[in-house]
Amino acid sequence: MPDRYWITPCRRLIGPAWLVAACAALVLVQGPLALAQRVPVVERVLDNGMRLLLVERHDEPTISGGWVAHVGSANERAGITGIAHLFEHMMFKGTPTLGTKDYARDLEIMAEQEKTRDEMRGEVDKVRAAFRRGDIDDPFKLENMTPRYRELEARFKGLIEEQRKILVKNEFDRVYTSNGGSMMNAFTTVDMTGYFITVPANKLELWMWMESERLLRPVFREFYAERDVVYEERRMRTESTPLGKFAESFEALFWESHPYGWPTLGTPSDVSAISKADADAFYGLYYAPQNISLILVGDLDPKSAEALVRRYFSRIPRGKNAVPSFIPLVNAQPAEKRMLAEADANPQVDIYWHTVPFQHKDSYPLTVLGQLLSTRTGRLYKKLVMGSQVATEAEGAQFSRKWAGVFNITGEARDGKTPQQVEEGIYAAVEELKEQEVPAEELQKVKNNFAAGEYRRLSSNFPILRQLIQNDGLGDWREINDAGAKIQAVTAADVRRVAARYFTKEARAVGVYTRKAGSASAADDEYAGLAPDQKPIMMKIASQIQGETSLEKLQQALQALEQRAGDGDAKRKVLMSLYKKKLQARIAELQKK
C-alpha cells in the first residue's frame, strides 16, 4: 500500500511488549474524530508570539509536555527536501551545556568541518559537470570523485573523529530518563514537526529548562554525520522495502505539482546535498517562537505553569522574518491516473481520490464514510472479504491534511484472485453509497464508535497531548472539542452527497500491484512482505499475541488499529497489516473456546 501521510518512526518505545508495535503505528491520530467531553484548554500567547496550551488534570502525578513547529516537508523547496525531517534528528543533539565536554573546541571543530565541506561541494560540482557530459556513469560513486575530494573527505573524517572524543552521546535523553522521563519522541509529517515527553509532575521546571534551551541555544553538532544517518534511514525505509519506492512514485503521480508529492524523507540527491547553511536558514525561519506552540497536559497549576513558561521561553527572541503565507492549491485532475507495478508483495490495489483539507465541512461526512467502509463490520469487509471473497482485507479512510485531502481505499487480493477483481468490488461498494442513503442504524453505530473511541482517548495525559499536537499542527487546536459535534451532525444525505461529489473517475489515481515473478507467495511465507529487520520483530510479537489469553486486551488493541490508525511509511504499513491479521486470528480462536 503506498504511503498516504508520512510520519517518521518513534525514536524509542517504552511499554508492554506486544503493545509496543501499536504505539509505533499510532503516534498520531489523523483526521477529526468525535469527542465525548470537552478538554479544558487554557490558551496564552507570549510576547514573542509563542502559543501556550495548558490542560490541568490531576488523575495521575505526571505531565505530558510537547511542542509543535508548524513546518513539515510541504514547506520545503526543491533542493532541500528532507530538511524538516533532518531537524527532527538535529534537535536532540544538545546545547552548549549538554552533549559536549569542551564546548569551545566543539565550536572550532564545527567551523573547520564547515570550511572543509564548502571545499568538498566545489569538487562535487566538478563531478556533476562530468556526469552531465557523460564522462562518468554515477556522480555518487566514490571512485568517480576527484583526487582533491578524497583528500578533503579524509580530512573531514579526521575532524569527525576528533569531535567524537569530546561528545557526550545522548546526554539530552539521559538527563530526562534519569529524572523519570518516558515516551520521549518526535515525528515529522508533511504539515508539522512535533516533540513530546512525559515527566513526573515535580520535574516540570526541568522540562522548561531542557526544552527552552534546545530552542534558544541549539547546537547542531554532528550535522553531516546525522545527515548520513537520515540518508541511511531513507534507504532502509524506502529503497529496501517491497513497496517503498512504488509508494513515492504513486504519491508523486497523485499530487502532481503540489509539495505533498515529494517524500518527507527527502529525495536522495537533496538529502546528500543539504548544507549546514541551509539548515541554519531553515531553523531561523521556521523554528521562531511565533511558529511554535507549547502544550502541557497533566498534574499542574495553570498559573504556576504559565509563570514558568514565561520565565524560560520568553528568553527566546521573536523571529526576524515572518513565515511565508503558504496556501498551495491542488491542480484539478483532468483524467484518471494509473500505475501498474510488480513488487515482492501480495497482489493488491490502492485507490486515491482528491478530497478536502482539515476542517472543511465535507471532511466530517467523508470521515464517517471511511468508517462505514472499514473494520470487520464495515461494508468492504462484508462484501469483499466475507461476500465475494476476492480480498483478504479491504479498508478506506479520509485523510485531511492542512492544505488538501485524500480518501484512500485499499484492498489485498486473496490467493487465486486478482487486484482487478478487488478494484471492481471497491467501485461497486462506492456506487451503493452514491445511489442509496445509509440506513439510520448503520450510521448511528459508526457515530457511537467515534464517541466511544474519543472517550477512551481522554483517559490519560498523553493521548490528550497527542490530539492537541495534531490539531494545532494542522491549524486549530479547538478541533479537539469541536469535531465531535460535527461528526454527530453528519446525516445519511451528507454521506451520499460527498460520495457522489468526490468519488469520480477523473479525481482518482489507482495503483495496481501484482506479484513479481519469482517472489514468494503468501502461502509460502506469511512474512514475505516484511523487510529483513522487521521479520524477527513481527515473529516475537506474533508469539506474544498467541500467548495472550485476555480477549478484552486483544479486542482493545484491534480496535485501536481500526479506529485510530494513523499513517506511516510503506514499511510500517506492511508490518501493521500483518499485526492486524495476527490479532484477528487470535481473537477468533479465543471466541471459539
Q: What is the distance between the alpha carbons of residues 97 and 445, in angstroms, rounded to a whole number? A: 55
Whether residues 206 and 343 fall in one domain: no
Q: What pLDDT sits at residue 140?
A: 83
Closest Cα to residue 189, out of 264, 270, 94, 97? 264
Q: What is the distance between the alpha carbons of residues 424 and 431, in angstroms, rounded to a whole number? A: 11
Q: What pLDDT sits at residue 9?
A: 37
Q: What pLDDT sits at residue 103?
A: 96
Q: What is the distance between the alpha carbons of residues 75 and 401, in angstroms, rounded to a whole number? A: 13
Lateral strand order in the sheet of 337-343: 337-343, 508-515, 348-354, 405-413, 391-400
User: Quick check: is 576 in a domain?
Assistant: no
| Mean pLDDT estimate for the chain | 87
In tens, the pLDDT along 414-425 reads: 999 999 999 999
Q: What pLDDT sits at residue 422?
A: 97
User: Quick check: is 93 in a domain?
Assistant: yes
Whether residues 287 and 345 fall in one domain: no
Q: What is the distance between the alpha carbons of residues 411 and 327, in angstroms, rounded to a whole number? A: 33
User: Quick check: is 148 in a domain?
Assistant: yes
Q: What pLDDT sits at residue 523?
A: 41
Q: What is the distance between the alpha carbons of residues 62 and 297, in angstroms, rounded to a whole number? A: 9
pLDDT of residue 123 exceeding 70, the answer is yes
In tens, the pLDDT along 191-241 reads: 999 999 999 999 999 999 999 999 999 999 999 888 888 888 887 778 777
Last residue of a domain, one of 313, 345, 363: 313
Q: What pLDDT sits at residue 539?
A: 66
Q: What pLDDT sits at residue 27?
A: 34
Q: Could you list the residue range(s) of the whole structural domain that residue 479 is in? A: 337-531
Q: What is the mean pLDDT of residues 82-86?
A: 94
Cell (9 digits) for 157: 573524517
Last residue of a domain, one of 486, 502, 531: 531
Whether residues 305 and 370 fall in one domain: no
Whether residues 451 and 374 fall in one domain: yes
- The percent of residues above 70 in pLDDT, for the chain, comes to 88
Which of 175-189, 346-360, 415-429, 533-547 is least confident? 533-547
Closest Cα to residue 282, out of 195, 220, 196? 220
Whether residues 283 and 422 fall in one domain: no
Kindly write down the DSSP assignment for every residue of 278-290, as one continuous string. HHHHHHHHHTSGG
Whether residues 222 and 344 fall in one domain: no
Q: CB-based contacts of 134: which residues, under 8 Å, 6+ apart? A: none
User: Quick check: is 12 in a domain?
Assistant: no
User: Quick check: is 548 in a domain?
Assistant: no
Q: What is the mean pLDDT of residues 441-455?
A: 91
pLDDT of residue 489 exceeding 50, the answer is yes
Q: Are 528 and 346 in contact (CB under 8 A)?
A: yes
CATH of the domain at 281: 3.30.830.10
Q: What is the mean pLDDT of residues 553-563?
A: 72
In tens, the pLDDT along 292-305 reads: 999 999 999 999 99
In tens, the pLDDT along 227-278 reads: 888 888 887 778 777 888 899 999 999 999 899 999 999 988 888 889 999 9
Q: What pLDDT sits at residue 231?
A: 80
Whether residues 224 and 342 fall in one domain: no
Q: What pLDDT sits at residue 363?
A: 98
pLDDT of residue 543 exceeding 80, the answer is no
Whether residues 373 and 306 fall in one domain: no
Closest Cα to residue 29, out of 396, 449, 555, 470? 470
User: Quick check: is 126 in a domain?
Assistant: yes
Q: What is the distance between the alpha carbons of residues 52 and 468, in angstroms, rounded to a whole number? A: 11
pLDDT of residue 20 exceeding 60, the answer is no
Q: What pLDDT sits at residue 454?
A: 80
Strands 292-298 and 51-56 come out as parallel
Helix (H) / strand (E) element for 84: namely helix 83-90
- The percent of residues above 90 in pLDDT, for the chain, comes to 68
Whether residues 167 and 309 fall in one domain: yes
Q: What is the mean pLDDT of residues 145-166?
A: 95
Under the banding of pLDDT at 50, 70 and 90, the label for residue 162 is very high
Whether residues 150 and 209 fall in one domain: yes
User: Quick check: is 298 in a domain?
Assistant: yes
Total number of domains constituting the chain: 2
- Give the per-residue SS3 of 87-139: HHHHCCCCCCCCCECCHHHHHHHHHHHHHHHHHHHHHHHHHHHHHHHCCCCCC
Closest Cα to residue 24, out of 465, 568, 529, 454? 568
Whether residues 379 and 517 fall in one domain: yes
Q: What is the mean pLDDT of residues 171-183?
A: 95
Q: What is the mean pLDDT of residues 174-185?
A: 95
Residue with the larger pLDDT of the pair 553 and 493: 493
User: Quick check: is 593 in a domain?
Assistant: no
Whether residues 477 and 510 fall in one domain: yes
Phi and psi torsions of 231, nearest 5°? -60, -40
Q: What pLDDT sits at residue 34?
A: 39
